C-alpha cells in the first residue's frame, strides 16, 4: 500500500484534533529552539572561564550566560511537561477513534467475514495492535523532535567548525545501516510473534467459552497442555523479538563511543592548531548526545515504527475493504405484513459448493410453517438468508412482494424476530438483555412477554429480579432459562415474522409445553418459520417443508405427508413418533 494512502488515512484521524496537533507542533518547535540555544549559552560562560579572566566584571560575564542557561533549562523542563501532556492526549484521542472505527467496521461486516476469521486475531487487532501504535506514536513524536533538533544543532556546529561537524556526521549513516541490515530478521520475528500472540488469545477465549464441554470430557489438563505449548511458542518468539529490538542499542552505543573518540582526537588537533578554542571544542562534546540521540532513537525504534506502519496498513485494509461489508443498498422502511416467497433460490457458502438448491415456496401472512430435515439439510441456512446474514447466489426472495435486498437492513431485522438454538446472554442485567430488542420497553411490556413464555416464576426467584446481573454467556442461568429469555427477547420486539430455529431444543418437555401454550396465542396473525425436531411443534404447524441435501423434497400438512412414502414418513417412523404420548403408552403396554 502506498505511503500516500497511509498518510491520507492517518490525516483523517488527525484532522478533528487540529488544535491539539498545532499545539503539539508549537511545543515541539519551542522545545527544539530552547535545546539549541541552551548549549550556546553554556559555551559562552565556559569560554570566559577557560580564558582565565579575573575580577568582578569577568565573574558577571560567567554568571549571566549560566543564569540564562539555567533559565532555559527550567523553561525547557516546563515545555517538555506540557508537550508530553498534549502529545499523550492527542495520541490517545487518535487511538480511541481508531479502536472505535475498527470495532464499528468489524461489527457491521457480513456474517461470512466471521466464518473466515479467528476471534483471537480480531481481538489482537483491537487491543494489542492498537496499543503498539500508541506506544510507537509517542516514541515517534520524541524521535521526530530530536531529528529536527539535530538539524538545528548541525547548523550551529557548522558555524564553529565545519571539519568537526563533518567528522561527527560520518558515523550518522552507520546507525541506519545497522537497522537496515537487521530489518529482515526483525520483520520475520515480529510476524511470528504476532501470530503466536493471537493464538494465545484464541486458545484462552476458546477454553473459557467451552469450559463446560472441557470439564464434561475431562479435558482440563489437555487444554492446559495445549495452552502451554502455544504460550511456549509465544515466549520463544518474544525472546527473539526482544533480541531483534535490543541488539540495535548496544551496536549503536558502541558506534557512538567510537565516534566520540574520533571527535576527541580531531578536536584536540583543532585546539592545538588554534582553529577553535577549548570552549568551542567542549560544545561539540557537550552536544554529542543531542547529536546522536535522534539517530540512536530512530534506529532503536526502527522495528517498532515498522510495526506501527504495518498496523496502520492493516487498519486501512480492514476499515476500507468493502468485500465483507453488509450491502445496505435497500431503502424501503415500510411495515411488513409477513408474506414470504422464495423463487428458485440457490446459495453457497463456498463458491462451487451449493448448500441450497432451487428452493421455491410461498408462505402466506399468518401461516406457521415447519422446516424439517436431517442435520445439514440446510434448515438454519434458510433462516440465515431470510435475515440477510448471507446474500443468495441466484434466485429471488420476496417479502410482501418486494425483493429482500430492497429493504433497509435495520428495518428488515427489526420486523423479523429470531430465537436461535445458539442462545447468547450479554454481560449485564436481565433487563438490559431483554431490552436489546426494544430499548424503550416498559416493565409492564417486559412482564407481559415474560408471562407469555412462562418465565415470570423463575425471574421472581432471582435475587434482584429484572436487575439481576448476568455473566457473559449467562453462566449463572440454566440452559432452559437462557432459552426462555431468548424467546422473550424476540417477542418483545413484536415482529410480524418469527423464526424459531429449534428454539425449544434445550428446554424440557414440561417447560416446552408451557411455552407452547403461550406461543400459540402470540403467533396468531404472525408469520412463523419453525425449524424443529419435536413432533409437538411440527403437529401445530399449518404447513411442513421437508429439506434433504439442500433441496425441498416434500411439502404439505402432517396428515398429507404421513400418508405418503417419502423422507417425512421415514423421519417420523425413525424418531418423530417416539416423542408422542400414544407411542410411549404402546411401549408400556408391550413391556408389561
Output the tens digit of pLDDT for each of the chain's 592 residues: 566 777 777 778 888 888 888 888 888 788 777 877 777 766 666 665 555 544 555 556 667 767 777 787 788 788 888 888 888 888 888 888 888 888 888 777 777 777 766 666 677 677 777 777 777 666 676 667 767 777 777 777 777 777 777 877 777 777 777 767 777 777 788 778 877 877 787 777 777 767 766 766 677 788 888 888 888 888 888 888 888 777 776 777 777 778 778 878 887 887 787 777 777 777 777 666 666 666 666 666 665 666 677 777 777 777 776 767 776 567 788 888 889 999 999 999 888 889 999 999 999 998 999 999 888 888 889 988 998 888 888 999 999 999 988 888 888 888 888 887 777 788 888 888 888 878 888 888 888 888 877 788 888 888 888 888 888 777 778 877 887 888 888 888 888 898 887 656 556 666 666 666 656 656 777 898 988 767 767 877 889 999 998 999 999 998 898 888 888 888 887 766 655 555 445 544 444 5
Nearest residue to 134 (alpha-carbon basis) of 315, 268, 293, 300: 315
- Residue 553 DSSP one-character state: E
Cβ neighbours around 479 below 10 Å, total = 14
| Three-state secondary structure call for residue 343 | strand
The pLDDT value given to residue 340: 94
Phi-psi region of 471 (alpha: psi -120 to 50; beta: other; left: phi over 0): beta
Q: Which CATH class is domain 3-182+247-320?
A: mainly alpha
Return phi, psi of residue 248, to 5°.
-65, -40
Residue from 324, 352, 410, 342 nearest 381 by CA:
342
How far is the first Cα of the chain from the last one, in angstroms, to the nearest whole number? 78
Residue 538: predicted pLDDT: 80
Closest listed residue to residue 515, CA positions, set 484, 482, 478, 539:
484
User: What is the pLDDT at residue 73?
Assistant: 77
- For the CA atoms of 80, 85, 90, 94, what is the dihedral angle to 10 degrees? 120
Give 559-567's long-range contacts (Cβ < 8 A, gap of 24+).
Answer: 567/373
Tell me the C-alpha distance between 90 and 21, whole Å.
Answer: 7
Bridge partner residues of 354 (DSSP): 348
Q: Which pLDDT value is given to residue 491? A: 81
Concatenating the DSSP letter of every residue in 243-292 gives HHHHTHHHHHHHHHHHHHHHHHHHHHHHHHHTSS-HHHHHHHHHTHHHHH
Q: Where are the alpha helices (DSSP H) in 301-378?
A: 302-320
Q: Is 141 left (phi over 0), alpha (psi -120 to 50) or beta?
A: alpha
Considering Cα of 135, then 141, then 144, then 146, what sign does the dihedral take? negative
| SS3 (DSSP) at 242 | helix
Q: 334-415+533-592 adopts what CATH topology?
A: Rossmann fold (3.40.50)
| 498 vs 502: CA distance, rounded Å | 12
Q: Looking at 364-514, which runs of residues are DSSP E strands?
A: 368-372, 394-399, 402-403, 416-419, 428-429, 469-470, 497-501
Question: ∠ CA 538-539-541 to the nearest 5 degrees?
Answer: 65
Instruction: For residue 374, count CB atoms less than 10 angstroms from its CB and return exposed for 0-12, middle for 13-18, buried for 19 or more.
Output: middle
CA distance 186 to 241: 7
- Identify the pLDDT of residue 291: 62
Sequence spans of domains, the chain? 3-182+247-320, 334-415+533-592
Instruction: Please say whether the beta carbons of 533 and 525 come within 8 A.
Output: no
Cβ contact 428:469 at 8 Å: yes
**Burial class for 311, CB neighbours closer than 10 Å (0-12, 13-18, 19+):** buried
What pLDDT is recorded for position 307?
A: 66
- Contact yes or no for 348/111 (Cβ under 8 A): no
The pLDDT of residue 482 is 83
d(CA 96, CA 390): 31
Quote the CA–CA distance of 421 and 427 in Å, as a whole number. 19
Amino acid at each position: 500500500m502506498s505511503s500516500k494512502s497511509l498518510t491520507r488515512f492517518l490525516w483523517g484521524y488527525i484532522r478533528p484534533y487540529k488544535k491539539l496537533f498545532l499545539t503539539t507542533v508549537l511545543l515541539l518547535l519551542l522545545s527544539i529552539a530552547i535545546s539549541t540555544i541552551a548549549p550556546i549559552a553554556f559555551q559562552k560562560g565556559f569560554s570566559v572561564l577557560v580564558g582565565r579572566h579575573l575580577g568582578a566584571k569577568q565573574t558577571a560575564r560567567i554568571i549571566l550566560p549560566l543564569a540564562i542557561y539555567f533559565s532555559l533549562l527550567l523553561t525547557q523542563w516546563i515545555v517538555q511537561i506540557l508537550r508530553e501532556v498534549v502529545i499523550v492526549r492527542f495520541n490517545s484521542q487518535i487511538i480511541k477513534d481508531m479502536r472505535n472505527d475498527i470495532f464499528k467496521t468489524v461489527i457491521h461486516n457480513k456474517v461470512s467475514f466471521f466464518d473466515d476469521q479467528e476471534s483471537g486475531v480480531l481481538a489482537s487487532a483491537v487491543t494489542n495492535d492498537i496499543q503498539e501504535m500508541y506506544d510507537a506514536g509517542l516514541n515517534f513524536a520524541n524521535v521526530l523532535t530530536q531529528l529536527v533538533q539535530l538539524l538545528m544543532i548541525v547548523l550551529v556546529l557548522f558555524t564553529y567548525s565545519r571539519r568537526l561537524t563533518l567528522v561527527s556526521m560520518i558515523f550518522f549513516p552507520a546507525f541506519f545501516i545497522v537497522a537496515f541490515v537487521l530489518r529482515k530478521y526483525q520483520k520475520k520475528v515480529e510476524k511470528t510473534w504476532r501470530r503466536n500472540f493471537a493464538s494465545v488469545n484464541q486458545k484462552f477465549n476458546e477454553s473459557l467459552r467451552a469450559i463446560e464441554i472441557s470439564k464434561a470430557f475431562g479435558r482440563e489438563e489437555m487444554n492446559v497442555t495445549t495452552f502451554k505449548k502455544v504460550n511456549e511458542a509465544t515466549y520463544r518468539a518474544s525472546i527473539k523479538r526482544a533480541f531483534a529490538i535490543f541488539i540495535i542499542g548496544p551496536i549503536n552505543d558502541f558506534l557512538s563511543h567510537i565516534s566520540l573518540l574520533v571527535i576527541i582526537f580531531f578536536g584536540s588537533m583543532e585546539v592545538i592548531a588554534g582553529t577553535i578554542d577549548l570552549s568551542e571544542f567542549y560544545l561539540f562534546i557537550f552536544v554529542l548526545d543531542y547529536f546522536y540521540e535522534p539517530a540512536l532513537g530512530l534506529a532503536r525504534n526502527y522495528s517498532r515504527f515498522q510495526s506501527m506502519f504495518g498496523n496502520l496498513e492493516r487498519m486501512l485494509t480492514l476499515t476500507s475493504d468493502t468485500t465483507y461489508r453488509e450491502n445496505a443498498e435497500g431503502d424501503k422502511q415500510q411495515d411488513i405484513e409477513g408474506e414470504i416467497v422464495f423463487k428458485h433460490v440457490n446459495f453457497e457458502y463456498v463458491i462451487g459448493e451449493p448448500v441450497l438448491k432451487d428452493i421455491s415456496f410461498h408462505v402466506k401472512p399468518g401461516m406457521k410453517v415447519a422446516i424439517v430435515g436431517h442435520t445439514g439439510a440446510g434448515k438454519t441456512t434458510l433462516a440465515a438468508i431470510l435475515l440477510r446474514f448471507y446474500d443468495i447466489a441466484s434466485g429471488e426472495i420476496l417479502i410482501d412482494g418486494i425483493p429482500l435486498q430492497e429493504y433497509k437492513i435495520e428495518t428488515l431485522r427489526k420486523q423479523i424476530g429470531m430465537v436461535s438454538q445458539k442462545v447468547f446472554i450479554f454481560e449485564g442485567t436481565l433487563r438490559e438483555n431483554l431490552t436489546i430488542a426494544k430499548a424503550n420497553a416498559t416493565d409492564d411490556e417486559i412482564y407481559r412477554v415474560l408471562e407469555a413464555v412462562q418465565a415470570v416464576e423463575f425471574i421472581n426467584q432471582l435475587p434482584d429480579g429484572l436487575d439481576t446481573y448476568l455473566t457473559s454467556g449467562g453462566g449463572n442461568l440454566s440452559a432452559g432459562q437462557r432459552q426462555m429469555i431468548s424467546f422473550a427477547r424476540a417477542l418483545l420486539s413484536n415482529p410480524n415474522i418469527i423464526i424459531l430455529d429449534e428454539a425449544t431444543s434445550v428446554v424440557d418437555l414440561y417447560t416446552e409445553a408451557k411455552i407452547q401454550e403461550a406461543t400459540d396465542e402470540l403467533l396468531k396473525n404472525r408469520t412463523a418459520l419453525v425449524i424443529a425436531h419435536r413432533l409437538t411443534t411440527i403437529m401445530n404447524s399449518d404447513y411442513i417443508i421437508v429439506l434433504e441435501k439442500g433441496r425441498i423434497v416434500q411439502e404439505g400438512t402432517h396428515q398429507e405427508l404421513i400418508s405418503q412414502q417419502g423422507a417425512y414418513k421415514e423421519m417420523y417412523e425413525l424418531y418423530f413418533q417416539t416423542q408422542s404420548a400414544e407411542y410411549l403408552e404402546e411401549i408400556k403396554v408391550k413391556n408389561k
